[in-house]
């Protein structure tokens, strides 16, 4: 059986389902290939953004209850119930998935259940059980997302050694947890489980946490984590020695080699794109390492085939994927849209939070910019909130006074970053922030005061 479409979209995550919906609304005949309607929303909804934020909210409230005396309150706190926290998370995911399913039902986008693979540049075959269906299209969008990356010497068993997907459904509270990987995923899980009451060791092979951020941003995060009780090891690696009935023996290599025992180990060393099994060679699509090679319009080596989201070599973030889907849709509708990703916010929902946008100091020519930095310790709202750690940093071009980049470490950083994202996106000068009155008392006024600190 063969059917013909204007566009076939492979993958129902943020890039895929947004592109499908917008193309259908523009009058195109669209088919989206996904494992099923229950999987709409992709990694972000089911194994990434949303489930981690649900569990992190539980961790945040739990940590605040344990700090009640700091606020003049008395509270008796029982041990965290991970089973109940996971159930709460699953309720949220089901609600969000229902919303997406309802959008698709109303839009008219056809969801073809199964796994799709190219058999020619103009046709794919979708396999679902014993059923095989062929889909022809004038254009294709590849948006099949990513999965947790494997590490040699750290084999996942789903019980004692887990990846991030498995950890989201973990209901056994470890007394001692090793988190391997000091990127966004690792820092979030380390924050979460420390708040839940575990003794957490966070290990990163690079010299700093968040290797893609500025050193002072990483240092502030590490200080905040260590203040809470997380044991941070940078410039280190780990190898599993032996899985015992209820613990894992791990050799940690760094300054000194030593064996330690943990109740569970989380492997959180990033993600790898889902491109295997797509038979891209049959479509003539060129790869760049594990990623699909695209131009600035997100076209592959085949002009009618586009790729977006985690399968291309950009930041693996849901909002990046959504932005890229917009570029693809615009070009399929006859426009000439280019990907502009210099001002995509990078956010980490750790304790403390981290958010950054634009250039890093190492990206810029020495002497071409000014660094402005203000600690939250000087902010009145941070004082009454008992959240004085961290800082706001802004990079300003010396010649034009335009904002080139910014970073925030501290409470609500992931919300506060958007004012600075707007400034970097539009190339606004520092004067624009100076003239924007901020309410008092707020954490956001730290940005205003920092801007006004320059005459």
User: Over the range 170-198, which residues count as b (16 or more CB within 10 Å of their CB) and which as e?
Assistant: beebbebbbbbbbbbbbbbbbbbbbbbbb
C-alpha closest to that of 100 among 111, 116, 87: 111
Task: Enumerate the active-site residues.
Answer: 440
Which residues have CB under 8 Å from 146's CB, separation 6+?
43, 271, 272, 273, 274, 310, 311, 316
* Per-residue CA distances from 104 to 18, 19, 33, 324 (Å): 10, 12, 13, 20
Facing residues of 139 across strands? Answer: 7
SS3 for 396-432 is: EECCCCEEEEEEEECCCHHHHHHHHHHHHHHCCEHHH
What are the phi and psi torsion angles at 351 (to 5°)?
-115, 100
CA–CA gap between residue 157 and residue 307 (Å, rounded): 32
How large is the C-alpha radius of gyration of the chain?
23
CA–CA gap between residue 53 and residue 98 (Å, rounded): 18
222 and 235 Cβ atoms separated by less than 8 Å: no
CA–CA gap between residue 120 and residue 98 (Å, rounded): 34
Omega before 198 cis (within 30°)? no
CA–CA gap between residue 243 and residue 45 (Å, rounded): 32
CA–CA gap between residue 418 and residue 421 (Å, rounded): 5
**To 10 degrees, what angle do helices 14-25 and 318-332 make?**
30
C-alpha closest to that of 394 among 378, 406, 377, 385: 406
């Amino acid at each position: 059986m063969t059917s013909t479409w204007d566009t076939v979209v492979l993958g129902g995550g943020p890039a895929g389902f947004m592109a499908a919906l917008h193309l259908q609304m523009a009058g195109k005949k669209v088919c989206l290939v996904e494992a099923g309607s229950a999987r709409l929303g992709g990694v972000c909804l089911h194994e990434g953004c949303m489930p981690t934020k649900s569990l992190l909210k539980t961790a945040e409230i739990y940590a605040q209850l344990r700090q009640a005396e700091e606020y003049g309150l008395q509270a008796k706190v029982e041990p965290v119930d991970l089973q109940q926290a996971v159930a709460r998370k699953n309720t949220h995911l089901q609600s969000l998935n229902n919303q997406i399913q309802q959008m698709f039902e109303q839009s008219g986008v056809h969801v073809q259940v199964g796994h799709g693979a190219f058999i020619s540049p103009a046709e794919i075959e979708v396999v679902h059980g014993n059923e095989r269906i062929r889909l022809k299209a004038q254009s294709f969008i590849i948006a099949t997302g990513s999965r947790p990356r494997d590490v040699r010497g750290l084999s996942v068993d789903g019980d004692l050694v887990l990846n991030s997907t498995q950890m989201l459904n973990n209901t056994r509270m470890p007394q001692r947890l090793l988190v391997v990987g000091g990127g966004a995923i690792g820092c979030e899980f380390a924050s979460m489980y420390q708040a839940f009451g575990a003794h957490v060791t966070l290990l990163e092979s690079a010299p700093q946490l968040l290797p893609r951020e500025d050193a002072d941003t990483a240092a502030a995060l590490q200080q905040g984590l260590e203040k809470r009780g997380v044991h941070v090891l940078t410039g280190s690696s780990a190898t599993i020695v032996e899985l015992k009935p209820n613990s894992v023996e791990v050799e940690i290599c760094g300054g000194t080699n030593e064996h330690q025992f943990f109740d569970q180990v989380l492997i959180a060393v990033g993600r790898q794109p889902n491109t295997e099994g797509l038979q891209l060679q049959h479509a003539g699509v060129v790869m760049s390492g594990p990623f699909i090679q695209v131009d600035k319009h997100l076209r592959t080596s085949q002009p009618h085939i586009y790729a977006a989201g985690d399968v291309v070599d950009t930041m693996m973030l849901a909002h990046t994927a959504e932005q890229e889907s917009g570029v693809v849709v615009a070009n399929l509708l006859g426009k000439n849209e280019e990907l502009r990703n210099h001002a995509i916010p990078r956010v980490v929902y750790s304790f403390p939070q981290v958010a950054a946008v634009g250039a890093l100091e190492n990206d810029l020519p020495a002497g071409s910019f000014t660094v402005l930095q203000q600690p939250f310790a000087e902010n009145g709202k941070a004082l009454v909130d008992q959240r004085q750690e961290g800082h706001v940093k802004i990079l300003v071009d010396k010649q034009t006074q335009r904002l080139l980049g910014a970073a925030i470490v501290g409470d609500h950083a992931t919300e506060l970053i958007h004012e600075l994202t707007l400034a970097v996106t539009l190339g606004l000068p520092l004067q624009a922030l100076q003239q924007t009155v901020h309410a008092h008392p707020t954490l956001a006024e730290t940005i205003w005061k920092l801007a006004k600190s320059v005459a």
